[in-house]
Amino acid sequence: MSHRNTQRSHRKAVIAIASISAFAVTLTACSGGGGSDAPADGGGLGTADKHVKITMMSNDAFAETWQEQLVPEFNKAYPYIDVTIDSTPYDSLLAKGLLNGTSPSPDYDLITLDDPWTPQLAEAGVLLDLKSDAAQWTEDDYDWDDFNSAPLASSEWDDGQYGVPLRSNLLVMLYNKDLYAKAGLPEPTPELTWDQYMEQAPELVQDTDGDGAVDSWAVGLTWVRGVLSPPFWQTVLNSNGGALFDEDMKPTFDTDEGVAALQTQVDLLEYAPPGASTYNYNEPLDAFRQGKIATLFTWGSAYKSAAVDEAVTTLTPDQVGIQTMPAGSEGASAHRGIWSGSVFKNSDNPEAAWALLQWMSSKEGELWSSANLGSFPARKSTLASEPAEPWLAPVYTAIQSGFDVAADGEMWRPRSPDSNAIQEILANETSAAVQGDRTAEEALDRAASEIKELLEK
């Protein structure tokens, strides 16, 4: 009898579970699906009585500065638009952006995108094409041509312009002038080639205080397994005229030049401090700040914290030089890394959102941002102007020449809806080569075949 009762209660439990699940499934099924289209009038720019509210999901590193300094400045020009900028950790930005873009009731109007992400979101159809869909709200004096082509291209995809550059960055070479002097070597110039650099590297491993132990090394860069690591050898490859992919996204890096480029990255490990094989972004930067390495290949935005900020570094602007990376057979090398701002297609206030982006990336806005926030500009006019801080002058020169070079050689991370997957494959194989698990040739062959397989799916 009790058995029958337990059976009955079992059955009841199963029915309960099934119905709750069914209910939940229908809930989501009803609300799933693409986002609504933007209102035809674009939401307007607000009035004194009725402000327009827009929200932006932004990378953690600059969200707070933008909210506290940039938004008030923006409000001087557009007093009726209330902007909220939320900081989102880098790793989750892409996924949350996609979730927001496909939501029927989105929380955000704007998003900042790192270099390789635009193709994925554009393919998914969640971004607004700023040159066509938003053309009606573009100011007459908004000069598209004043942009350097390299940073602008980072948010371009499939003939559509899905964003504008907000914070531009470039892989550069920082060097410690004192350590070069101690080694008796001339300071790097834009004409320095990779071959010359590789010759100099052993001499930069030195014992500076004469106690018999090496305490200063030649180089630091990203060697750890991760997406920041392949750009280095890609830059070497680009400077020698090679490229990662051709127009049809077929791998073209499993060539002799590619192998030589990857081998360069592997070889440089010899002249780096102990533990360098786990160097990510922070570690080589910290080593450089402590005066332990003579050259640092990193993003140009690191200059300030490497040479200027006293609380953070032991070096001064006089001691630190900045340069484009060494040249290959085809010329100097550079690698672009741009944060762009994009508008979600399902936003209710695309006009106001685009107004914010326009202001930020306009000539005046860029000048203001570079002067007050220390971000690097993308416009030719801004880079040609006199920077606010004297130490920025060589930085601007390096960046402008870097942009020119990058545009010529298409020097940036792979761009396709599969770019993240491609980058992971490259990261794995680069790490395997750096570790010595595989030769450079084996690593690149494997990467090429894996990527071909991936793209065929």
156-215 binders of another protein (CB under 8 A): 215
321: left (phi over 0), alpha (psi -120 to 50) or beta: beta
Which of 99, 185, 367, 371 touches another protein (CB under 8 A)?
A: 99
User: If residue 174 lies in a helix (H) or strand (E), which one and from where to where?
Assistant: strand 164-176
Binding positions for another protein, 219-248, rule CB under 8 A = 224-226, 228
- Give 40 or 311: the residue with its C-beta nearer to another protein: 311
d(CA 347, CA 285): 39
- 123 binds another protein per the rule CB under 8 A: yes
CB atoms within 10 A of CB 142: 14
- Give 67 or 255: the residue with its C-beta nearer to another protein: 67
- Give 62 or 194: the residue with its C-beta nearer to another protein: 62
- 1 binds another protein per the rule CB under 8 A: yes
Binding positions for another protein, 338-377, rule CB under 8 A = none
In terms of Cβ atoms closer than 10 Å to its own Cβ (0-12, 13-18, 19+), residue 183 is middle
Rounded to the nearest 5 percent, the helix, strand and coil shares of the chain are 50, 15, 35
Range in contact with another protein (rule: CB under 8 A) among 102-110, 179-187, 199-207, 356-364 = 102-110
Residues contacting 102, CB < 8 A, separation 6+: 34, 35, 124, 126, 346
- 87 binds another protein per the rule CB under 8 A: yes
Residue for token pair 């327009």: 52
- Give 41 or 209: the residue with its C-beta nearer to another protein: 209
Binding positions for another protein, 306-345, rule CB under 8 A = 310-314
- Give 215 or 254: the residue with its C-beta nearer to another protein: 215
Q: What are phi and psi of 296, to 5 degrees?
A: -135, 125
d(CA 287, CA 225): 19
Total residues contacting another protein by CB under 8 A comes to: 91
Binding positions for another protein, 57-86, rule CB under 8 A = 57, 60-62, 64, 67-68, 84, 86
Burial of 65-85, coded b for 16+ CB within 10 Å and e otherwise, reads bbbeebbebbeeebeebebeb
CB atoms within 10 A of CB 270: 13
- Give 181 or 214: the residue with its C-beta nearer to another protein: 214
Which of 283, 330, 408, 441 touches another protein (CB under 8 A)?
A: 283
- Give 94 or 399: the residue with its C-beta nearer to another protein: 94
Binding positions for another protein, 27-46, rule CB under 8 A = 27-28, 30-34
| String of contacts with another protein for each residue 415-444, x by CB under 8 A | -----xx--x---x--xx-xx-x-------
Q: Are 345 and 101 in contact (CB under 8 A)?
A: yes
d(CA 200, CA 218): 9
Give the nearest distance from C-beta 104 to another protein in angstroms. Answer: 8
Which of 210, 212, 275, 390 touches another protein (CB under 8 A)?
A: 275
Q: Are 369 and 377 in contact (CB under 8 A)?
A: yes
- 273 binds another protein per the rule CB under 8 A: yes
Which of 39, 72, 79, 89 touches another protein (CB under 8 A)?
A: 89
